[in-house]
Amino acid sequence: MKTLACILMLMIVLSLVTACGGTSTPADLSANRVHTVGAFFSPTAITIKKGTTIIFIDDANNGALHILVIGQYAQQTTEQGAPDFGGYSGTRIDAGDTWTTPPWNIAGTFHVTCTVHPAMNLTVTVTG
């Protein structure tokens, strides 16, 4: 009987800790995710805090190859303060792959594009 009471008390305490922000919710975890849907990003704009990474997720059902670089309209450009996307060759993401960027450590507005799909354009706003 004491064991059952202890287990019940532990469950109540864990419920209260979780309700008070002791763990992350799924919404918190998905806030910095960008999906590649065919030849488009979803969403097409994202706002993150300095020091945050972005997780790019390729939907396995589209079968497309993506090469991500800093820039717009399939053109790699230099945007001062943007993290490294693999230098001149960019970062390759195949169907079903995920890739996490280095931290975005400078506040500002940046752009990500796919050199294979000119319509894939993501605006990244980094706040302080």
The CATH number of the domain holding residue 91 is 2.60.40.420
Determine the structural domain holding residue 96 and report its residue range: 31-127
* Phi, then psi, of 60 in degrees rounded to 5: -60, -25
pLDDT at 97: 92
C-beta of residue 64 within 8 angstroms of C-beta of residue 116: yes
**Amino acid identity, residue 50?**
K
Category of 16 on φ-ψ map: left (φ > 0), alpha (ψ -120 to 50) or beta: alpha
Query: Model pTM?
Result: 0.75
pLDDT for 64 equals 79
Digit-by-digit pLDDT tens for the chain (128 residues) are: 554 443 334 344 333 333 333 333 333 455 799 999 889 999 999 999 999 999 999 987 666 789 999 999 999 999 999 999 998 899 999 988 999 999 999 999 999 999 999 999 999 999 99
Do 18 and 68 lie in a common domain?
no
What count of residues does the chain have?
A: 128
Q: How far apart are CA 73 and CA 110, in angstroms?
A: 13
Q: Do residues 3 and 53 both lie within one domain?
A: no
